[in-house]
Amino acid sequence: MNRVLLLIKGLGRGGAEQLLASAARYLDRDRFTYEVAYLLPWKDALVGELESAGLPAHCLQGGQGAGWVARLRSLVRERGFQLVHAHSPVPAVGARLGLPRRADVRIVYTEHNLWERYHRATYWANALTFSRNDYVFAVSHQVHASIRYPPPLRSLRMPPIETRYYGIDPAPARPWETADGVLEELGIPRGTPVVGTVANFKPGKGHGYLLPAAERVREVFPDVRFVIVGQGPLEPAVRRKTRELGLESTFVFAGYREDASTVMAAFDVLAVPSIHDGLSIALLEAMSLGRPAVVTRAGGNPEVVRDGEHGVVVPPADPDALAEGIITLLRDGGLRARLGEAAKRRTADFDIRAAVRRTEEIYQGLLR
């Protein structure tokens, strides 16, 4: 039985982390034994879910500094892992440097972000050790295109790289029978236009551009509500800005929700104002519910949503264009329905089961 360790920075509720949980039920346990390791002990929201799915989770960070690399090395040796699949650059760098080549442990890496968006230290550490990968998946063509060695490193080996959309769990979402329960809980009157965003409050997610866009939308739809699902370090700044702009009655901060797909079922429109993005899993989930989206031309999202076919695509960092896209969809219920139905069909191309099968094909080839 081949033993695989899935390695990630944290197990909080983020896109890359949720992919591990979504994939868990479709892993081939006849060919592979899986376990998970992560670095950040305070990001453990998915530990219980993974362990219930039969994936033991190990926290490597017992203190400050890089001691976790030694713990990773010990874990790989003691548990007999033959392949490590890393989903974050920092733990990937630790695996590349910390696992001796003579141990013949294969390393697979999934790149979830654009290289130019990394902190410079992370960028250089990732680039300097990248050749140690045996195989690389990129979550979108845009991410794939960003993987380029800087001039001083261009003599390094470039490992095989494949674009692989990870997608979503095809198990049917179970929204409440109607959206009324969600709207009531959030204090939104029935019949109110609802625009939603599902993203943690991080710099690349573009919340700062959603606020001036909301001002413009409110001029046309005075009773509109913007629902933000998520948490993160920038939340206090976004809340403060809504107060400064007089948008307190327009915005509903829903916080972290385990039932995010249920909340999305209450949206009329999903807004994805990202400045940069690998590929938004929330976007795919909303599309699977038949919700049309206004997305920015950032990362892999416009590879999923074709403008005028599945939703509306606008330039990033452009609140006016974002507002116009939202207004267009809110004005035309027939258009929303048509785009939403096309979006639902589109998600058949983004099935986590296909991603798991392809990933395990690569594992099998590397472990022969």
Q: d(Cα 177, Cα 266) in Å, to the nearest integer?
A: 11
Q: Is residue 316 part of a domain?
A: yes
Domain match, 49 and 198 both: no
Average pLDDT of every residue of the chain: 93
Domain match, 141 and 207 both: no
CB count in 10 Å sphere of residue 333: 10
Is the separation of the CB atoms in 111 and 141 below 8 Å?
A: no
Domain match, 95 and 242 both: no
Q: Is residue 218 part of a domain?
A: yes
Encoding tokens for residue 342? Answer: 């096309």
Domain match, 111 and 254 both: no
Alpha helices in the chain (DSSP H): 15-24, 47-52, 67-79, 89-98, 120-129, 141-146, 180-186, 207-220, 235-244, 260-264, 281-288, 301-304, 319-331, 333-346, 352-366
Q: Is residue 220 part of a domain?
A: yes
Q: d(Cα 107, Cα 93) in Å, to the nearest integer?
A: 11
Q: How many helices (H) and strands (E) does the chain have?
A: 15, 13
Q: Is residue 90 part of a domain?
A: yes
**Nearest in space to 295 (alpha carbons), one of 276, 316, 272:** 272
Q: Is residue 35 part of a domain?
A: yes
Domain match, 82 and 206 both: no
Domain count, the chain: 2
| 196-250 per-position pLDDT tens digit | 999 999 988 999 999 999 999 999 999 999 999 999 999 999 999 999 999 999 9
Domain match, 157 and 198 both: no
The answer to whether residue 177 scores a pLDDT higher than 50 is no
The residue with tokens 């920092």 is 90
Determine the distance from the C-alpha atom of residue 102 to the mean position of all C-alpha atoms in its chain, rounded to a whole number.
34
Confidence band of 66 (pLDDT split at 50, 70, 90): low
% of the chain residues with pLDDT over 90: 81
Q: Is residue 175 part of a domain?
A: no
CATH number, domain at 299? 3.40.50.2000
Domain match, 328 and 355 both: no
Residues facing residue 107 across a β-bridge: 84
- Residue 333's domain comprises 180-349
Domain match, 327 and 256 both: yes
The answer to whether residue 172 scores a pLDDT higher than 60 is no
Residue 178: the pLDDT is 47
Domain match, 355 and 332 both: no
The residue with tokens 């939340």 is 235
The answer to whether residue 46 scores a pLDDT higher than 70 is yes
Output the CA–CA distances (angstroms, integers) from residue 216 to 247, 273, 319, 325, in the order listed: 11, 15, 9, 11
Query: Exposed, middle or buried: residue 128 (CB in 10 Å: 0-12, 13-18, 19+)?
Result: middle
Output the CA–CA distances (angstroms, integers) from residue 51 to 11, 36, 56, 239, 245, in the order listed: 12, 9, 5, 35, 44
| 76-127 per-position pLDDT tens digit | 999 999 999 999 999 999 999 999 876 689 999 999 999 998 999 999 999 9
Q: Would you give the end-to-end CA distance of the chain in angstroms?
A: 12
The pTM score is: 0.88
Domain match, 318 and 355 both: no
Residue 74: the pLDDT is 95
Q: Is residue 174 part of a domain?
A: no
Q: d(Cα 178, Cα 293) in Å, to the nearest integer?
A: 20
The answer to whether residue 27 scores a pLDDT higher than 50 is yes
| 305-334 per-position pLDDT tens digit | 999 999 999 999 999 999 999 999 999 999
Mean pLDDT of 46-73: 88
Residue 175: the pLDDT is 46
Domain match, 260 and 326 both: yes
Q: Is residue 205 part of a domain?
A: yes
Residue 146: the pLDDT is 96
Domain match, 10 and 133 both: yes
